[in-house]
Amino acid sequence: MALTATKKQKIIKEFGTHEKDTGSAEVQVSILSKRIEELTKHLKKNQKDNHSRRGLLSMIANRQSHLKYLQKYHPRRYSTILKKLDLRK
């Protein structure tokens, strides 16, 4: 269920400021979003997998805290990441 290295590098190139940028909030939000999507697909097939469901909720909370940081300190970057990832309407 983890992201492969190539998928992660592709996300970093798309959202990062440089090629080794793994710490910026945009990159972390985008990686978490991709992991959440994959885990959601898994949970649709395996409805009784409560351990993975707990991990999903943890990832969602982590992504939400990164988004709150962006909204508070970098509103422009926050709006662009929402549009790119199509998170809110």
pTM of the complete model: 0.92
Written as one letter, the residue type at 18 is H
Q: Over range 23-32, report the average pLDDT.
A: 95
Q: Is residue 57 part of a domain?
A: yes
Query: Token pair of 35, please?
Result: 């992991």
| CB atoms closer than 10 angstroms to residue 27 | 21
- pLDDT of 89 higher than 60: no
Render pLDDT for 57-76 as a digit per residue (tens, 0 to 9): 999 999 999 999 999 999 99
Residue 37 lies in a domain: yes
Question: Which tokens go with 45?
Answer: 């097939």
Q: 3-class secondary structure for 27-89?
A: HHHHHHHHHHHHHHHHHHHCCCCHHHHHHHHHHHHHHHHHHHHHHHHCHHHHHHHHHHHCCCC
Please report, for the domain that includes residue 79, its CATH number.
1.10.287.10
Domain extent for 38:
25-85
For the chain, what is the domain count? Answer: 1
In a domain, 32, yes or no: yes
**Residue of higher predicted confidence among 62 and 89:** 62
In a domain, 5, yes or no: no
